[in-house]
Amino acid sequence: MLSVFFAFRDAPDRRAALRNPDALDRYRLFGLDEVRVRGAHVRHNLERGGPPPAWARTAAAAVNLLLGLAGGYGGDFATVLASLRTANTADVVFATNDTIGIPLMLLKRAGLLRTPLVYAAIGLPERLMQLRNGRTARLYAEAFRRTHTIVAYAESEVEWLRAWLGETAPPIVFVPFGVDVRAFSPDGRAPEVDVVSVGADSKRDFDVLTEIASRHPEVSFRIVAARQHARSLAIRPPNVALETDVPLECVRERLAGARVVALPVRLNSYSGATTVLLQAMAMAKPVVVSRTDAIAGGYGLEDGVNCRLVKPGDVDAFERALLETLTGADAGESLGLRARETVERDFSWERYTDALWEILSAASAAPFRR
């Protein structure tokens, strides 16, 4: 039986998903359920109910301090160190993001993690560009070469990492993210709000929407954001409603009640509002989204065919695309229908987990010493 150890970034929403087997946001577990259903024995680093033990927190603080002094970038060493013994009993370790992956990669380099490591990169180029000297950069590059496979959810990130690691890089694979097309599907309800925007990460450009809203008081907007955005959105036009930190079930309701979903994102290499984009497309909603590197390729997006793509930071272009989609009822409906077709065909959750299973299975067959 294949044994897989999942390493997660510790967060309240992820712990909540782990506690509730019927939660809508089980996607935050990156395929743990589907790997288990296939017959694998699955464990993870958040099995401990409370925080990591004091010794792990102390060691983590020391390691992160040393890495910072050396010009490096650390992460959540505490939960990794506390669960390292369990990780070393698995056939393969899957690090689901960089906060947890960087510690595992460095422990792999030090010989303390002996299990093959599959590393999912999400915004890794931005972190690696923070390395402050060549010696540290070489250390990190050598450590990344010890991983079995690096998975990225953006083609642009794959290309960057291959160039950075060079000819001796491990396999670096683009795996498009997916969405549950049954949980997110059209429900035929009448729109309640003209424009809905959803997003929690720091790259969301809600200033674009508030600027457009101030120009068009006749258009209603609803922003569903993380609490970290509340301060910057405290002063906003009266036609912009704001909700923060709502559950995914509520997010789905807000998407269902939108005429158009707007996802402005600042220029960056990893964030393209990908999860919400796929959810909205699966619900047959016309979407206007910034063309960041993360979604420019690999996700089958075509401007005017299954979505509207706009240059990041261009308020006027985003405004034109948004108004054209709102006023052209037939065009918006066609965009939504083709969006749904695109997701059903190429970006279902099953396709994502099938690809992940193949990668984990291949890594587990790699020779290593426990």
Determine the Cα–Cα distance for residues 298 and 173; give it in Å rounded to an integer.
12
Contact 11, 201 (CB under 8 A): no
Run of H or E residues at 195:
strand 193-199
With a cut of 80, say whether residue 370 has pLDDT above it: no
Task: Give the pLDDT score at 316.
Answer: 97
The per-residue pLDDT for 330 is 60
Model confidence at 239, in pLDDT bands (50, 70, 90)? very high
Q: What pLDDT is attached to residue 369? A: 40
Residue 169 has pLDDT above 90, yes or no: yes
Identity of residue 237 = P
d(CA 123, CA 205): 17
Residue 32 has what pLDDT? 97
Measure the CA–CA gap between 116 and 124, rounded to whole angstroms.
20
Query: Could you tell me the sign of the dihedral formed by the alpha carbons of 302, 308, 310, 312, in that order?
Result: negative
Q: How confident is the model at residue 201 (pLDDT cuts 50, 70, 90)?
A: confident
Q: Which residues contact 52 (CB under 8 A, 6 or more apart)?
A: 60, 78, 79, 81, 82
Is the pLDDT reported for residue 58 higher than 80? yes
Instruction: Please name each of the domains of the chain with its CATH number.
Output: 3-178+350-364 (3.40.50.2000), 193-347 (3.40.50.2000)
pLDDT value at 188 more than 90: no
Mean pLDDT across 79-98: 97
pLDDT of 342 > 80? The answer is yes
> What whole-number distance in Å separates Cα of residue 261 and Cα of residue 193?
10
pLDDT at 123 over 90: no
| 41, 20 Cβ separation under 8 angstroms | no
Helix (H, G, I), strand (E, B) or coil at 3: strand
Mean pLDDT of 181-200: 94
CB 223 within 8 A of CB 234: no
Helix (H, G, I), strand (E, B) or coil at 118: strand
Least confident among 93-97, 195-199, 231-235:
231-235
Q: pLDDT by residue (tens digit) across 75-85? A: 999 999 999 99
* pTM for the predicted model, two decimal places: 0.92
Tokens read off for 30: 């990156």
Please say if the pLDDT value at position 336 is more than 50: yes
- 118, 94 Cβ separation under 8 angstroms: yes
Mapped onto helix, strand or coil, the DSSP state of residue 317 is: helix
